[in-house]
């Protein structure tokens, strides 16, 4: 495939891959496509990557980086008050970048565009250019907003509901405009395609989630039945909301039944929520830890009280890969392969009684827990490796470059 070139259009600087989305882009997309052709990047963002990070990414291809202030993006978003586009799509649109993107697309063999936040750049492409592009939804933003708007602060709920409706319309608009799409889960794909007639000319790939394999050399440890753990950036609203709900509505009953049980909450951005619950007994906010895995490994289990989201959290997959029991409150049984009491525990109704019973079961059935943990690790390593995701993207672009 000599003399081929692919443009990668992003609204996040992908290196270093510190979150699950950047990990997918860097390990799954960039590394896969670099094996097929020369790359060039077009990035519009409010992030300010370091010179070292820019230099590192330049090893993979030429970078066209446009960084604007967050205020500029907010002002852009206000254009959506006067049209039917989503706020996020207007937010990332700049005319000079549009002109550059179209020029670049004419000179390359294929294009990768990350999420409908960059959708406005795709609206007026020629048929030839449309056939070159893969639009990676990543997930359905409309599914996220329309199913979880009620978990956001009261003053934001109507905004998220409106944005969800706009994005639902826009996701379907993109389906009519383009021919090649990818998305993380079947749940998101089914939501976007709902009520639409099948079109065999459209290619819609499920790429799957991925995680960073951990090479841990932990000393011998014993399980402490009086510790449960959570890890996540508390500046990320779904993490904050889930932990806030758990502490406000569930923890007192859990702690009443298990007076010696301690809940370790690991991750940056803890100051606000730590002050809010400073009087709660046996809740420990550690802040960011360089090595959080020792305490996670020796804990009774890892709990994820996150309620907002359609798919599987990156941190949950990561912890499962350690062979640590995970209890979640999301209905992961809609995601193929996750089975309650088989490789994960699912708190289906997220009630006090259910959490108490699950923790009690976990404390009293350690032999069964070890079997679940072994199956959990095997399941995740076989189904969510970055290498597997990379191969999906590689196959997609081998087809596009033909």
Return left, alpha or beta for 3; rule: phi > 0 is left, psi -120 to 50 is alpha, else beta.
left
Q: Which of 356, 244, 221 is nearest to 305 (CA)?
A: 244
pLDDT (0 to 100) of residue 308: 87
Instruction: Give 118-158 as a DSSP string.
Output: GGGGGTT--HHHHTTEEEEEES-HHHHHHHHGGGS-HHHHH
Instruction: Give 218-283 as a DSSP string.
Output: PPP---EEEEEEEE--TTSHHHHHHHHHIIIIIHHHHHHHSTT-EEEEESS--HHHHHHTTTSTTE
pLDDT (0 to 100) of residue 19: 84
Complete domains list, the chain, with CATH: 5-210+385-400 (3.40.50.2000), 224-383 (3.40.50.2000)
125-156 in b/e burial notation, b at 16+ Cβ within 10 A?
A: beeebbebbbbbbbbbbbbbbbebbebbeeee
The CA distance from 122 to 239, in Å, is: 32
311 pLDDT band, cuts 50/70/90, is: low
Tell me the pLDDT tens digit for each residue of 231-242: 999 999 999 999
5 pLDDT band, cuts 50/70/90, is: very high
Q: Are 118 and 98 in contact (CB under 8 A)?
A: no
Q: Which residues contact 142 (CB under 8 A, 6 or more apart)?
A: 164, 165, 167, 168, 170, 171, 191, 192
1 pLDDT band, cuts 50/70/90, is: very low
> Is the bond preceding residue 16 a cis peptide, omega within 30 degrees?
yes
Tell me the pLDDT tens digit for each residue of 249-284: 999 999 999 999 999 999 999 999 999 999 999 999
- Residue 160 clears pLDDT 70, i.e. is over it: yes
Tell me the pLDDT tens digit for each residue of 70-128: 999 999 999 999 999 999 999 999 999 999 999 999 999 999 999 999 999 999 999 99
Tell me the pLDDT tens digit for each residue of 328-348: 987 665 577 888 999 999 998
358: its two tokens: 């699950």
């Amino acid at each position: 495939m000599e003399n081929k070139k692919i443009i990668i259009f992003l609204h996040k600087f992908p290196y270093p891959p510190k979150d699950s989305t950047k990990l997918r882009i860097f390990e799954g997309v960039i590394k896969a496509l670099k094996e097929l052709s020369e790359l060039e990047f077009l990035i519009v963002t409010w992030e300010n990557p370091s010179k070292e990070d820019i230099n590192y990414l330049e090893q993979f291809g030429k970078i066209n980086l446009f960084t604007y202030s967050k205020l500029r993006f907010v002002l852009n978003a206000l254009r959506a008050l006067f049209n039917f586009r989503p706020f996020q799509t207007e937010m990332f649109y700049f005319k000079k970048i549009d002109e550059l993107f179209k020029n670049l697309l004419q000179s390359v063999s294929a294009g990768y565009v990350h999420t409908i936040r960059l959708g406005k750049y795709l609206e007026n492409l020629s048929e030839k250019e449309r056939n070159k592009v893969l639009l990676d939804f990543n997930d359905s933003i409309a599914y996220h907003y329309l199913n979880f708007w009620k978990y956001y602060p009261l003053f934001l709920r109507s905004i998220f509901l409106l944005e969800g409706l706009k994005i639902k319309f826009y996701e379907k608009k993109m389906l009519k405009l383009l021919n090649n799409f990818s998305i993380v889960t079947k749940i998101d794909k089914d939501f976007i395609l709902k009520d639409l007639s099948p079109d065999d000319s459209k290619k819609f790939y499920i790429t799957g989630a991925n995680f960073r394999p951990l090479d841990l050399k932990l000393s011998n440890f014993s399980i402490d039945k009086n510790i449960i753990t959570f890890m996540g950036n508390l500046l990320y609203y779904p993490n904050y909301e889930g932990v806030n709900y758990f502490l406000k509505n569930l923890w007192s009953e859990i702690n009443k039944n298990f007076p010696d049980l301690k809940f370790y909450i690991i991750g940056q951005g803890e100051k606000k929520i730590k002050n809010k619950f400073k009087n709660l007994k046996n809740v420990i906010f550690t802040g960011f830890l360089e090595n959080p895995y020792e305490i996670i490994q020796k804990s009774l289990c890892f709990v994820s009280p996150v309620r907002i989201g359609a798919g599987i959290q990156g941190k949950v997959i990561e912890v499962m890969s350690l062979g640590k029991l995970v209890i979640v409150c999301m209905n992961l049984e809609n995601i193929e392969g996750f089975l309650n009491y088989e490789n994960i525990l699912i708190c289906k109704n997220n009630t006090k009684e259910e959490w108490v019973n699950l923790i009690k079961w976990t404390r009293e059935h350690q032999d069964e827990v070890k079997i679940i943990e072994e199956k959990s690790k095997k399941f995740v390593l076989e189904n969510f490796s970055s290498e597997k995701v990379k191969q999906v993207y590689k196959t997609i672009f081998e087809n596009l470059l033909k």
